[in-house]
Structures are given as structure tokens and as C-alpha cells.
Structure 1
Amino acid sequence: MTDDDLIDHLLYTGEGTTLDYKREGYVTDGPDDVKKSELLKDILAFSNTWRTEPAYILIGFDESEQQFYPVCRHPDDSRLQQFINGKTNKHVVFSYRAVTYKNQALGLYTIEVQERPIYAKKKYGIVEKDVVYVRYGSSTAIADPTQIAKMGALEAIKGATGEPLLSVELFSLEDQKSINSGLSFAYTHQTIDEFPDYTEGTHGYLKLNERLVNRNYYRDMVLYQQEQAESFGFRMNVVNRGTASANTVRVHLCFEPPGALHLKAELEDVPSTDFLPKITSLATLLKPPFEEHIEPDRLTAVFSFGKIHAGESAPSGDIFLITPPTKLTSVQVRIHADELRAPIVLNVPTTIQVTERTLRPED
């Protein structure tokens, strides 16, 4: 499902137990704890409400006016995670990201289905200590003891039978920061001018036989520089915060449109003036890091993580996006497992900027 499809669905659905609209974003900075606690209260209410699908808070839309109010400033997802989860009795699985819908800049909170009840460990602003907030229709209320008991009973049943709770984090290799809320990459695409053959090489004090000289050295060096400059590196970490193992866990990364994009698990080594045939490692030949499915308008990479036990995580190896196109505005991440009735879907917005440069021999 694309962002446009998702927002279409949310606008058609209307406010309720799985959706709220906000004309303006929440206050997340400054000294006013009362204003900042409004976000905490709403996240808690959606987290505690019984549902079978994710809940959303759409920022930048007024339902009564049926008007958009573009979001000018987006909060940092990692700071939101610290703000919310530093105050609750258990980890809250939610995320925030910027989305674009019909040229309108909006914001979207996604609150996953998760263990309940969740409450604040201390009073904060309008949020009371140990109070369980729930969503009733389009408003927030306090759960009564009977409701809380039912939450505990349901979680006890789940705990007895076991249920996995999967999520995925994407981290940039450059600074190890999460890119779940957005991937931004600018690079220079270097085209190749005509290069001569490399004809001389030395090994120690002996001149190499011409058959042992890498005639393509100059061209190989340009390709090496291209790959270094035009690659974005990241890793994935799949976490199971549930109470049971997840089997046959797979993560699909979908790129649409792919353009000239291709994925690699490792970058090429610096080329040599010697003629050295490239040898693929035995480990890579026996177990490729991912499978590629190429279609005219989509490239999908499938990563297999096998079994992930409750409370454990599984990291991927390095992943490099080579020459991503400017038309790539989001990366869809889908988590599949035997125990999931439907895949868990995350859309990572992307911003790609490309400049052109022609490399000549004198460069």
C-alpha cells in the first residue's frame, strides 16, 4: 500500500478507535509539560484500546473543515521514542514519519497492536500515574477496573499460548542513526569519458609481463569511485518483543520505481594495476544475503532471518543502495512470518538528490 492509498483510506474512514485527525502537530518541545503530555495521553489511549489493526493519528487535516493544513516542522522519531517510553510501564510500539499526500506535507503517527494495559509510571502534565486511558469512539476516557481486568486476562491467555510481536529498525552505516522516519541521500553521479588502456605495471623492481597488467585499471578505478560516491549503506535489525518465537521471518524491501538502482551486500575493493581475477567468496555463493525480484516497475529484496525467539533480535549484514533514483520517494518495508495473519508494513519516506559530473583521465 502506497502512502497515497493509506491516506485515502484514513480520510475515508473517519475518526474512531483506530484514527484521530489533528489540524496541528503536538507540542513536543519547551517547558510546558501540560501541552507535551497531550501526545502521551493519546498514544496511551490508542495503545490500550482493543483492536486488530494499527491505529493512526494524522497530523495536518481538519475533519470539520475538510481542509489540509500542511505541517512545516516534524518532530524527530528517536526523540519521541525516548519521550514516550521513558514514562511508561512497558515499551510502546509506535512511530512518527512525514508523509506527502497530493502535494500536502502531513505527519503520521502509527500505533501498533500490542500488550496491554500501558500506563504512565509517574504523573506527567495531564496524564495521571497508573491510570489506564482508552479510546471511546473519537474521544479519550479512563478505563474502569473491569476493562483493565479483561486486558490482563487477554494478555494472560496470549502469554500462555504465546504471540510474537515483530518490528524492524533501519540504521544508517554512516552515523548509526535510525532512518525509519526518513532516508535522505545526496550524491554526484559520475559518467565516464573515454579512458586509455593502462599499459605499464610494476611488481617490486620487475616490470610485469603485459599479460599480467590490468589494462582496465583506469576504467576500474572510475567504477570504484562511482560506487563509493553513489552508495547509501544501512543495516536492519528485526526485534521480537512478543511472548513467543516467530518462525520463517522474512523482510521485503520494495523500491518503486527502481530506475538504475541495484543492491549489494559489499562494495568493490580498490582496483589493482595487476591483473587479478575477481573471486566471489564461498560464503556468499552458498548463502546469498538476500534474494532479488526484479519487475519493470519494482525491485524487491527479500531477507530471510529464520526463527527469532521472544525477546531476541536478528541483525542483517550491510546493505548498499547503489545509484537510487530521484523518483524514489519511499521504501516499503514488509515483515512476514508464519504466525502473522498479514504482513507488518512500514513506509520509509526517501529524499534523493543527484548531480551530474563527467570524469576525464586528468581527474
Structure 2
Amino acid sequence: MDKALFERLLYEEENSLLDFKEGQYRFVKAGEDEKSELLKDILGFANAWRRSEAYILIGVEDIRGGRGNVKGIADAEHLDDHSLQQFVNNLTNRPVRFHYEAFGFESKQVGIIRIEEQARPIYLKRDYGKLKKEKIYVRRGSSTDPTKPASPEEIAQMGASPGQPTAEILVEFADTNGDNALGKHIALETEICQIPTREEIPNLERPKKIHPQLGIDLANLCFDLRNNLNTDYFRERAWFELQHRFFQPIRLVVKNIGQVAANNVHVELGIPIAPGLGVKNSSEMPNPPRRKNEIFTESFIKSIRSASQEPGETTLDQNTDRVRIDVHCGNIQPGRRVWSEVFYMCKHESGELSLFGSIFADNLPQPKELELIVSASVIKTQMTVEDLCSLPELEE
């Protein structure tokens, strides 16, 4: 879903291709009767007489004769696409080709269920909630009436296969610490922290070990080339805190939601160069400093990359006009996902930033346009030398 298509759908009336829902379906911890409402609508669209994809827009109020009113839903109300797929396709005679997407519009979250044109009829293998097995539920006009399933004549006409399927790729933000998709709109909080100057920050000193008889500091007599004191520890820690509070991690997930494998997939995002905006990859971010120097540092180890390109490998390319983010995904089988490497972004002022780009694949008829939105809120803080020196030790 892109912003232009969503805007067009808001001006359409409910029909055999479109339905508006003000609130989210009852699904998580719901009973069969409640969940069968969602199941009915998906089956109704899947069996409907139509020549293009159908959409259910969740969080939108239907306004007769006018533009749909986007009320939105809470982030926590979004449904998990994988759970929905399992729920529906465990009950039906054949897999239903549909997808749930979290979509951001006008600073609000909307749920979108897209139902592809597909082979019919599709029916339940057993009774479920208010629905009966082997009944062909069909959406006619603006509703699906469970008391009026398809007639034998309609069923006889169902069976014409749609055209040759093409690759269908979805790109969303992802949790940087897990596998969850977060939709196409995320909120980041960046912190501009004023730190002490290098001259104000003290050296890290080795704890003294005074010999009781000799009265000399034994620590100064010990020197370990592999593990000696890092006197710049507090200055490195200040730089680490400054960068990691300002630059926030971002990760993408690329999913094949079509019916055929997507070959040689890669995603490009472009970010215009602007004052107060920055983008870095992981290797450019400072690593946690250590109180003792080490020969093989984490940054040295991270700099060693495999000669072969791994799925999800992410590169940044910058010129005077823009930063381009490339995610190389390789071949993606239907239903499979590829996660990008983490990259970092900062913004000096609060506000929204649109990331425009394209999705490429050998078996996409043409590149698919892409828009992701970052809402940034900026706070300003100050750190004293005392604050810096009392920070807890960072984990390895």
C-alpha cells in the first residue's frame, strides 16, 4: 500500500473490492463467534466476483458520499500477519492469498487486509463459530451475508484462474532486537546531550596498590601488553553516549507476500542531504569503550566482512545530494522474510521524515515505489563530569 492508493480508496464507496471498519476485528483472546466475523469477510472477498485486489481498511469510518474518515487504531491493536495466515488457512480447503499490513497515514495507524484475486471456490473444511463448512460465502456489493451463500450456478462459474502471478514484495520497519514487523511508520526519540569537553574529562587512573613495607605503588610495576589501562576511557565513554543517544537504530524487513519466488531482490531508499540529518552504518558507530586496551578490538572484528554477499547485507552510499541505503536480499521464497542490517539515523529537530525508494526484482514487471515514514521527537539534555564518571559499566 502506498499513500496515493490509500488516498484514492478513501474516496470510494464500499463495494465488492473495498470495506471500511472503524475498529479492529476481535481476534487475540477472542472466541470462535467473534473470530468468525473476520473469517467471513476474508472468505467473502476471496470468493467475490471481481477483477482486481480487494481491501479492508481498519480504522476508517465510512462516510456516504464523501471521503472516508481516518480514525486510526492503537499500535498494539495491529494483528500479526503470520498468525492470521495460520488461522485462516488451517480452516479452508485451499490457501487464501491475503496479507495484513500496518500502515501509517496522517500520523495515525491503520490496518489493511489485502485479498488477492485467486482461484475459487474457497470454503471451510469444518464449522467454525457462526459459519458452516462447505458453504461458499460471497461478498456482494457492500456486504457478505452468511445467510446467502453462493448458489450452485455461481459455484459452477467459479474456477477460472487469474493471470500468471508476479512477485509481490512488502518492506516495513522491523524491531532492532527481534523479528517483529513494525509497519511503515515508526516513532524515534533522539537525545541531543551536551557533554563535557575533552579537557574537562579526567584520565582513567589505575587503582593504587601500595606495598605495606616498601611504600611503593605496585600497579605501576605491572604492565600487560595485551590488557593495559585505557586512560582515555572516560573521553571514549562520553563520545559513545553522545553518538548512541543521538543516532537511533533502524532495521527493515523485506517479505515476499506473493505466490512465486522473488529473484535477485534489492531495496533502495533515498534520504536527501539536509542540515541536522545524519545516517550511519553500524561500523561508523563507536563501540562500547573498555577500561583496558585490547589488541583485537570489537571495531576491528566488525570491519572484517565476508567476501560473499549475505541476504540482508546493507550498504550506505553518500554524495552531496543524498544518502542511498541499499538492502541486498537475494532470492526470497513466498512467505519468507529477510531482515536488513541495522543502520542509524539522527534528526536535530522534531518532525516527520519520508524515506522514498524502490523495490527491484528480476521478476517484477517494473520497480515498485516505496515510502516509509519516521516521526522524530528530539529532547535536549546535559551531562556533567560527575554524571559521566558515575555511569554504570556497559555490558560486553
For the criterion TM > 0.5, the same-fold answer is: yes
Give the secondary-structure state (helix, strand or coil) at the position aligned to 1:335. Answer: strand
Are 2:220 and 1:220 equivalent residues in the alignment? no
Counterpart residue identity of residue 355, structure 1: I
Instruction: Report deviation, 1:213.
Output: 9.6
Give the secondary-structure state (helix, strand or coil) at the position aligned to 1:303. Answer: strand
Q: 1:123 aligns with which of 123, 127, 130?
A: 127
User: Which structure has the bigger radius of gyration?
Assistant: 2
Aligned partner of 1:305 in structure 2 is: 329
Give the secondary-structure state (helix, strand or coil) at the position aligned to 1:149. Answer: coil
Mark the CA change 1:165 to 1:96 in structure 2 (over 3 Å): closer, same or farther: closer
Are 2:98 and 1:93 equivalent residues in the alignment? yes
Counterpart residue identity of residue 340, structure 1: L
Are 2:342 and 1:319 equivalent residues in the alignment? yes
Aligned partner of 1:138 in structure 2 is: 142
Structure 2 unaligned blocks of 5 or more:
207-218, 388-396
Deviations 1:4-40 (A, max 9, x none): x344312234333432233454444675644543322
Aligned partner of 2:287 in structure 1 is: 269
What percentage of residue pairs aligned between the two structures are identical? 20
Instruction: Report deviation, 1:111.
Output: 0.4
Counterpart residue identity of residue 265, structure 2: V
CA contact (8 A) 2:166 2:364 kept: no
Instruction: Report deviation, 1:41.
Output: 1.9
Counterpart residue identity of residue 95, structure 1: Y
Mark the CA change 1:250 to 1:206 in structure 2 (over 3 Å): closer, same or farther: same
Mark the CA change 1:227 to 1:96 in structure 2 (over 3 Å): closer, same or farther: same
Instruction: Report deviation, 1:222.
Output: 1.8
Determine the C-alpha separation between the residues in 2 that align with 1:207 and 1:326: 49
Instruction: Report deviation, 1:217.
Output: 5.0
CA contact (8 A) 1:198 1:217 kept: no
Aligned partner of 2:392 in structure 1 is: none
Aligned partner of 2:160 in structure 1 is: 150
Instruction: Report deviation, 1:172.
Output: 1.2
Aligned partner of 2:303 in structure 1 is: 281
Alignment of 1:171-186 (within 5 A): 171-180=174-183, 183-186=186-189
Deviations 1:189-221 (A, max 9, x none): 32333221766777984679xxx9988654432
TM-score normalised to structure 1 length? 0.72
Instruction: Report deviation, 1:86.
Output: 1.0
CA contact (8 A) 1:98 1:349 kept: no
Deviations 1:153-186 (A, max 9, x none): x4xx74xxx7544445653133443313753444
Mark the CA change 1:51 to 1:320 in structure 2 (over 3 Å): closer, same or farther: farther
CA contact (8 A) 2:123 2:137 kept: yes
Alignment of 1:57-68 (within 5 A): 57=57, 59-64=59-64, 66=66, 68=69
Determine the C-alpha separation between the residues in 1 that align with 2:375 and 2:346: 13
Determine the C-alpha separation between the residues in 1 that align with 2:344 and 2:257: 26
Q: 2:268 aligns with which of 252, 271, 275?
A: 252
Determine the C-alpha separation between the residues in 1 that align with 2:369 and 2:221: 60
Aligned residues: 349
Mark the CA change 1:294 to 1:51 in structure 2 (over 3 Å): closer, same or farther: farther
CA contact (8 A) 2:60 2:72 kept: yes
TM-score normalised to structure 2 length? 0.67
